[in-house]
Amino acid sequence: MLSLSPSLLPSLLAALLYAAAAIYQGIRLGQGGKADKRLLYLLGGLAVGAHGCALLMQLLTPLGLSLDFFTSASLIAAAVIALILVACLRMPLENLLVLLFPLGTATILIAQFVPAGTVPLIHEEPGILAHILLSILAYGMFTIAVFQSMLLLLQNYQLKHKHPSGLIRNFPPLQTMESLLFGFLWAGWALLSLSLLSGWLFLDNLFAQHLVHKTLLACLAWVVFSVLLWGRNRLGWRGHKAIRWTLAGFCLLMLAYFGSKLVREYILHI
């Protein structure tokens, strides 16, 4: 039975718009052409707007901020898509949207229809909210980097085997794709650094029992990304090595945030 919550209508509208944009772009790329940017941005912008309305209704409660596992995933997806839509005005990133629009559809529907686990409410103290915002932006930027690395891997494979598909033929040059990847990694690393710093400043104890795994994994991810960026700057790391390090760091971050939330909300119920 469908939920009758106030966020139902904007959630369904956002999912429909994301799906329409993904199908349209996928068909155009499959035909070897390019999607009309104005139509793509219109569909994407309207979808993000509806997504944001749904999230406001799901997150804000009279007792505080309710940031459960699936709503967190939905929030990160909305932030990632919004960042890419804005970045597309200056950089050739439209091809990332063909992967991100389906992600938006899936996360908003899951957040709407899957029951939340045990969710501790967050009181809206400015320092804590700043830490949460920085964490979400950092995770979002690394999510973009992972999608970019997947497209780069596909592009590199098809170019080596000399059978580029319609999608790959519309990609920017390999060097541009790689430069964009490291741009996202630098931005994500800076945001993750600020997130860890704000956590140290505003949280009572970063190594409390319910935070220790998250903190340690986030610090390990920071080290992995630091080594990767050092290797790029000093040793010229690129290609498969850069992609492997990107995926390793992202997996640690995913375990830090979503792994700990999954265990706490659905297994331990704390």
Looking at the DSSP bridge assignments, the partners of residue 121 are: 66
CA angle 39, 7, 127 (to 5 degrees): 95
Which tops the pLDDT comparison, 201 or 17? 17
Same domain, 96 and 37: yes
Alpha-carbon distance of 164 to 152, in angstroms, equals 13
Q: Is the pLDDT assigned to residue 3 strictly greater than 60?
A: no
Domain boundary among 90, 123, 156: 123
Same domain, 118 and 139: no
Residues 6+ apart with CB under 8 A from 191: 134, 137, 138, 141
pLDDT in the model for residue 203: 73
pLDDT digits (tens, 9 = 90+) for 39-96: 999 999 999 999 999 999 988 777 667 777 788 889 989 989 998 999 888 888 888 8
Same domain, 133 and 250: yes
Q: Is the pLDDT assigned to residue 153 strictly greater than 80?
A: yes
Same domain, 65 and 149: no
pLDDT (mean) for 153-179: 75
Same domain, 32 and 140: no
Same domain, 147 and 259: yes
User: Quick one: tokens of 3?
Assistant: 């939920």
Residue 21's closest CA among 97, 115, 126?
97
pLDDT more than 90, % of the chain:
39
pLDDT more than 70, % of the chain:
83
Same domain, 184 and 117: no
Roughly how many angstroms between the first and final C-alpha of the chain, as a whole number? 27
pLDDT digits (tens, 9 = 90+) for 184-222: 999 999 999 999 998 888 776 665 555 677 888 899 999
Q: Is the pLDDT assigned to residue 22 strictly greater than 90?
A: yes
Write down the H helix ranges in the chain.
Answer: 8-30, 37-59, 69-87, 94-113, 126-160, 166-169, 174-202, 212-230, 239-254, 260-262
Domain count, the chain: 2
**CB-CB contact of 80 with 143 (8 Å):** yes
Same domain, 187 and 118: no
| Confidence at 229, pLDDT banded by 50, 70, 90 | very high
pLDDT in the model for residue 165: 59
Which tops the pLDDT comparison, 266 or 109? 109
Same domain, 140 and 265: yes
Q: Which residue do the tokens 């459960």 mark?
A: 68
Q: Is the pLDDT assigned to residue 24 strictly greater than 90?
A: yes
pLDDT in the model for residue 249: 94
Amino acid at the residue 14: A
Same domain, 187 and 58: no
Domain boundary among 82, 104, 123: 123
Residues 6+ apart with CB under 8 A from 230: none
| 66: enclosing H helix or E strand | strand 64-66
| Confidence at 29, pLDDT banded by 50, 70, 90 | confident
Stated pTM of the model:
0.80
Q: Is the pLDDT assigned to residue 120 strictly greater than 80?
A: no
Residue 246's closest CA among 175, 141, 92, 101?
141
Q: What is the residue range of 67's domain?
A: 1-123
Same domain, 157 and 112: no
Q: Is the pLDDT assigned to residue 15 strictly greater than 50?
A: yes
pLDDT in the model for residue 54: 95
DSSP label at residue 172? P
pLDDT digits (tens, 9 = 90+) for 125-145: 777 778 888 888 898 889 889
Same domain, 129 and 212: yes
Q: Residue 102's domain is classified under what CATH number?
A: 1.20.120
Domain boundary among 84, 100, 123: 123
